[in-house]
């Protein structure tokens, strides 16, 4: 239904739209909601909680949008959408949940964006802050049981520190984040269906630095640097030897050592996180923690114990000298290449790879170099297993399994001390599982069941 014009309109339901509605209701502010979809995510929950709030589904009503004072645009809706652009041209203020959050938050905020690694870095940093005795609010674009949309965090009891994972979509509508510490971890081509070009994508990411008191950068990625010359960089991280005030890696006879300003602080072998990409994530968290004053001993204590996030190169167990890793979220070729290479570089032995599912017409041949270098056996499952086999046939030994549980049993028999078993399918999961999390759970249960 369409109602009379109102000052504030939430554009787009879903998780963020619902959090905006709950926040405005708690603040006693009237609003209504529009969504271009007839059945958007969160519709049932919204109708139960906000039966009295006007809701318009279908095409955006231009006259209604133009008559508002403020549009609260959900991340899933581009501000380049013609209806949003025309409303802005008519003088309507465009904002989003992170901008609303930044106006009300009282405690320091750490803001993290990037193409890869965001979830691991914010979750690890939260563990470090909690080890230091802080009461932490964790959320933003992050999923998971302990995370919440940013505005939902403000409806909880006050925190000492807020740590937010932010997408470029959220940053598009952010005007004054004023984070205590902010970082762009890295930038690679992504969301090119939303942005005109990579420069526009990077420009959205750069908004994380607006008003930031401390800026951390990735020495290995030029796109991590702030564009504004006046921005103050206080620390950096990278996978090379660090200089004064920097975090980095030093190669020794015992493997890689995490180092700060020339001082070795932790051996990579002491971490449960695996892979060079996770060494970068660990160094990013340490640099951010230092920027906000977390004590190094507490950060290292948390880093030793942090197992990684579910389904993202997550260490599960060591059995007879073989480590088992769940990278079920590796649903495409690029993600699996990173997982194979990152783990393979750290191993004394070789990888036993479990892969397969729905191939999404991917080119698996580009995996051959890392597979040939780091994998001794590929155990293939799922609908398109033979497509992977055709790509790998001249590189490594291949076998097939009827299901994931059988694949784990074969892997356990073939792996030797110093090897690792990695589930990184490079494929979608829907031929055998409801989604990648279901696939990861089945893998974890099978690994736990090994004797």
- Annotated active-site positions, please? 118, 141, 191
> Residue 237 — φ and ψ, nearest 5°?
-140, 160
Q: How would you label 85-95 residue by residue, b for 16+ Cβ within 10 Å and e otherwise?
A: eebbeeebebb
Instruction: List Cα–Cα distances, 42 to 141, 270, 402, 406, in angstroms.
Output: 16, 42, 37, 38
How many CB atoms are closer than 10 A to CB 47? 11
| Pick from 319, 384, 308: nearest CA to 342 | 308
Answer for the pair 442, 405: CB distance below 8 angstroms, yes or no.
yes
HSE (side-chain half, CA atoms, 13 Å) at 445? 9
Q: Can you read off the two tokens belonging to residue 56?
A: 């318009």
Q: CA–CA distance from 373 to each of 100, 350, 352 (Å)?
A: 49, 9, 12
The residue among 354, 451, 355, 358 whose CA lies nearest residue 408 is: 354
Q: Encoding tokens for residue 290?
A: 């230092």
For the chain, what's the residue count? 451
Beta bridge partners of 215: 182, 233
Q: How far is CA 230 from CA 135, 199, 212, 226, 227, in A?
A: 32, 20, 11, 9, 9
Tokens matching residue 403: 């299901």
């Amino acid at each position: 239904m369409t109602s009379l014009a109102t000052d504030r309109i939430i554009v787009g339901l879903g998780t963020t739209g619902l959090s905006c509605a709950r926040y405005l209701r708690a603040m006693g502010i009237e609003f209504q909601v529009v969504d271009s979809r007839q059945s958007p995510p969160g519709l049932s929950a919204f109708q139960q909680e906000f039966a009295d709030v006007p809701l318009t589904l279908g095409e955006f009503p231009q006259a209604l949008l133009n008559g508002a004072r403020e549009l609260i645009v959900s991340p899933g809706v581009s501000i380049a959408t013609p209806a949003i652009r025309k409303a802005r041209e008519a003088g309507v203020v465009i904002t989003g949940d992170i901008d609303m959050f930044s106006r009300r938050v009282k405690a320091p905020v750490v803001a993290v964006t990037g193409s890869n690694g965001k979830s691991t870095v914010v979750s690890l940093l939260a563990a470090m802050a909690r080890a230091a005795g802080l009461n932490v609010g964790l959320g933003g674009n992050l999923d998971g049981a302990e995370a919440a949309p940013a505005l939902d965090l403000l409806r909880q009891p006050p925190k000492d520190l807020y740590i937010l994972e932010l997408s470029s979509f959220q940053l598009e509508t952010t005007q004054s984040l004023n984070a205590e510490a902010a970082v762009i971890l890295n930038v690679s081509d992504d969301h090119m269906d939303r942005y005109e070009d990579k420069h526009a994508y990077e420009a959205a990411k750069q908004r994380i630095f607006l008003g930031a008191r401390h800026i951390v950068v990735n020495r290995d990625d030029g796109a991590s640097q702030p564009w504004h010359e006046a921005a103050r960089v206080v620390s950096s991280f990278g996978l090379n030897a660090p200089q004064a005030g920097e975090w980095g890696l030093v190669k020794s006879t015992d493997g890689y050592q995490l180092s700060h300003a020339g001082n070795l602080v932790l051996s990579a072998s002491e971490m449960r996180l695996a892979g060079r990409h996770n060494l970068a994530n660990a160094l990013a968290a340490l640099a951010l923690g230092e920027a906000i004053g977390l004590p190094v001993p507490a950060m290292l204590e948390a880093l030793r114990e942090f197992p990684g996030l579910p389904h993202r190169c997550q260490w599960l167990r060591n059995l007879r000298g073989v480590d088992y890793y769940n990278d079920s979220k590796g649903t495409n070729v690029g993600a699996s290449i990173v997982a194979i290479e990152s783990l393979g570089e750290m191993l004394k032995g070789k990888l036993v790879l479990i892969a397969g599912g729905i191939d999404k017409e991917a080119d698996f041949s580009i995996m051959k170099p890392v597979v040939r270098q780091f994998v001794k056996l590929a155990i293939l499952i799922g609908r398109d297993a033979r497509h992977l086999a055709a790509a790998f046939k001249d590189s490594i030994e291949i076998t097939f399994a009827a299901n994931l549980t059988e694949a784990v049993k074969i892997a356990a028999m073939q792996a030797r001390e110093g090897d690792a078993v990695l589930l990184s399918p490079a494929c979608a999961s829907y031929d055998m599982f409801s989604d990648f999390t279901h696939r990861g759970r089945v893998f974890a249960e099978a690994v736990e069941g090994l004797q």
